[in-house]
A = this chain, B = another copy of it.
Amino acid sequence: MLTNKMIGVIGGGQCSPEIAKLAEEVGERIAQNDGLLICGGLSGVMEAACKGAKKQHGTTIGILPGDRTSDANDYVDIAIATGLGEARNVIIVKSSDAVIAINGEYGTLSEISFCLKLGKPVIGLKTWNFDPGIIDAKDATQALNKVMELVR
């Protein structure tokens, strides 16, 4: 039974310390709200978010672009090796009940696009902001409050 909500975290594979701190807080809040964190499993925003979730004893899932589960960052519990490259982005979106976009560049934009196309709630933190469908949040706590309201 899928009792816990699956919350996607998307963002760049490289990020500033400030963004990493924000991603870590998002990860903490996801775990504190009993969400499962799903992401691309690599470094940057993904790693920071997984680190935060593990601090709070949450569960983390990485949907990797490559062929090896060992590509996952150190805070991934369950590593899925898709071997699909960028095509794996849409799997993160389809598997999430809601998605939190943190900063990020064009890969993140592709995932936001899929959220908007598929009608999946997407909350934005310091990220692309060109469409009313991207729900703005001012910090990690507000992002999770909005997510939990949307997926209840």
Contact = CB atoms under 8 A, between A and B. Distances in A.
A24 to B, nearest CB: 17
Interface of A: 1-2, 6, 36, 59, 61, 63, 67-70, 72, 74-87, 89-91, 94-95, 97, 105-107, 109-110, 113-114, 116-118, 130
A107 B78 CA distance: 24
Contacts of A1: 74-75
14 contacts: A1-B74, A6-B69, A67-B94, A68-B94, A69-B97, A80-B95, A81-B91, A82-B95, A83-B94, A84-B85, A86-B114, A87-B90, A106-B114, A110-B114
Nearest to A109: B113
